[in-house]
């Protein structure tokens, strides 16, 4: 059975239909990135050579800001309340989180809390048991905008900054992703550089950030280790952690979802954890939550005992 057939079945089962707005955006941005960027490199190679450093730097900074705002803001702050943040931190993550085009913070939180509550069951929005494609991106093709009451995110309904972002999400996302990049490019090198910034810093960056995030829902429930809980599909993947600022240690996260860390070991790559730690030292975040070491050891020992019993 093809992914398209599975998607159609899931849409019918859930009583939904294909959301052509969301699916069109996801497919359209990917097509523009895959065709537009190579075309730009061939057609305007000399201009790109003259300004390649600008394009690389701008892409990297925007990827860092957008993906980091998803991991630190949308995920650990708003979805799991792993710490409390000052208004500058919240505003930064709300603005650049919107630049990822993954919905408003409260919409993202609503989906993610449902995922944790119903992981690996039918109510899980991106249930890996429905297939890799479904968990990665297919579920979004039948996802419609969530409107109040946001029953599982009532805490965020009281947050004026979060609700401001929800009301103006599309405007913020378009300006940060598709208006500002060409303006900066024009200022830096003229109209051809502006076009390159529009394609590389805009479309290519959006697609890269989205699929990095989607990999957590798919790859991290598909490959990797389960040292803390072998009863759920969530897995620890150092590879995914490299492109998601530490989110790849997903088995630990599903076991201890309110901990501000995902990579709990000192050597594990988790820049989001390090950023929270630094912000806490400067007083920009407070009430940082972490699981006692003893609980972590107990979870690991329980897995070990089950594995021994199964042999």
pLDDT category of residue 307 using cuts at 50, 70 and 90: confident
With beta carbons less than 8 A apart as the criterion, state whether 9 and 136 touch: no
Three-state DSSP state, 110:
helix
The model's pTM: 0.93
Find the range with the poorest average confidence among 16-25, 44-53, 55-64: 16-25
**Tell me: the pLDDT tens digits for 109-126?**
999 999 999 999 999 999
pLDDT at 86 over 80: yes
Average pLDDT score, the chain: 94
Residues listed for the chain: 311
Q: How many CB atoms lie within 10 A of CB 286?
A: 11
* Domain extents in the chain: 3-224
What's the mean pLDDT in 230-242? 95
Residue 311: pLDDT band (50, 70, 90) is confident
84-85 and 285-286 beta bridge pairing = antiparallel
User: What are the structure tokens assigned to 80, written together?
Assistant: 């799991």
Report how far apart the first and last C-alpha atoms of the chain are (Å, whole number). 35
Q: Please determine, for residue 14, whether its predicted confidence score (pLDDT) is greater than 60.
A: no
DSSP for residue 121: S
Residue 5 binned pLDDT confidence (cut-offs 50, 70, 90): low
Q: How far apart are CA 212 and CA 268, in angstroms?
A: 18
Q: Is the pLDDT of residue 278 over 60?
A: yes
Whether residue 296 contacts residue 262, with contact meaning beta carbons closer than 8 Å, is answered with no
Let me know the angle formed at the C-alpha of 36 by 31 and 38, rounded to the nearest 5 degrees: 110
Going by pLDDT thresholds of 50, 70 and 90, the confidence category of residue 9 is low
Cβ atoms of residues 180 and 66 within 8 Å: no
Question: What's the pLDDT tens digit per position in 198-233?
Answer: 999 999 999 999 999 999 999 999 999 999 999 999
Could you give the CA distance from residue 70 to residue 52 in angstroms, rounded to a whole number? 27
Find where tokens 């913020």 sit: 172
Listed in sequence order, the residues at least 6 apart from 196 whose beta carbon sits closer than 8 Å to its beta carbon are 40, 44, 47, 48, 51, 55, 185
Buried b (16+ CB within 10 A) or exposed e, 239-263: ebbebbbbbbbbbbbbbbbebbbbb
The answer to whether residues 194 and 218 touch, using CB atoms and an 8 Å cutoff, is: no
Mean pLDDT throughout 71-87? 98
Q: 10 pLDDT band (50/70/90 cuts)? A: low
Is-contact 161 90, C-beta < 8 A?
yes
> Is residue 87 pLDDT above 70, yes or no?
yes
Give the pLDDT score at 269: 97
pLDDT number for residue 295: 97
Q: Which residues pair with 225 in a beta bridge?
A: 236
Pick the range with the lowest mean pLDDT from 36-50, 134-148, 189-203, 243-257: 134-148
Q: Are the C-beta atoms of 182 and 193 separated by less than 8 Å?
A: no
Tell me whether the omega of the peptide bond preceding residue 149 falls within 30 degrees of 0, making it cis.
yes
Residue 18 pLDDT level (bands cut at 50, 70, 90): confident
Cβ count near 295 (within 10 Å): 13
Mean pLDDT of 38-54: 97
- pLDDT of the residue at 12: 63
């Amino acid at each position: 059975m093809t992914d398209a057939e599975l998607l159609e079945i899931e849409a019918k089962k859930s009583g939904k239909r294909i959301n052509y707005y969301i699916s069109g955006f996801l497919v359209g941005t990917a097509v523009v990135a895959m065709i537009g960027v190579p075309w730009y490199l061939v057609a305007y190679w000399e201009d790109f050579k003259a300004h390649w450093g600008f394009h690389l730097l701008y892409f990297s900074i925007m990827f860092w800001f957008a993906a980091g705002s998803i991991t630190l803001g949308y995920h650990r702050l708003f979805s799991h309340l792993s710490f409390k943040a000052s208004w500058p931190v919240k505003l930064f993550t709300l603005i650049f989180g919107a630049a990822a085009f993954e919905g408003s913070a409260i919409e993202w939180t609503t989906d993610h809390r449902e995922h944790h509550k119903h992981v690996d069951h039918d109510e899980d929005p991106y249930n890996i048991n429905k297939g890799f494609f479904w968990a990665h991106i297919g579920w979004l093709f039948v996802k419609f905008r969530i409107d109040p009451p946001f029953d599982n995110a009532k805490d965020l309904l009281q947050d004026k900054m979060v609700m401001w972002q929800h009301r103006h999400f599309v405007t913020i996302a378009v300006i940060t992703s598709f208006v500002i990049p060409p303006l900066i490019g024009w200022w830096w090198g003229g109209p051809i550089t502006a076009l390159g910034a529009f394609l590389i810093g805009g479309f290519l960056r959006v697609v890269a950030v989205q699929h990095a995030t989607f990999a957590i829902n798919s790859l991290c429930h598909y490959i990797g280790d389960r040292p803390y809980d072998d009863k759920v599909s969530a897995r620890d993947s150092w590879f995914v952690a490299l492109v998601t600022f530490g989110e790849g240690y997903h088995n630990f996260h599903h076991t201890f979802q309110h901990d501000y860390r995902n990579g709990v070991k000192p050597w594990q790559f988790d820049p989001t954890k390090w950023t929270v730690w630094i912000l806490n030292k400067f007083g920009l975040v407070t009430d940082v939550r972490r699981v006692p070491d003893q609980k972590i050891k107990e979870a690991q020992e329980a897995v070990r005992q089950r594995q021994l019993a199964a042999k």
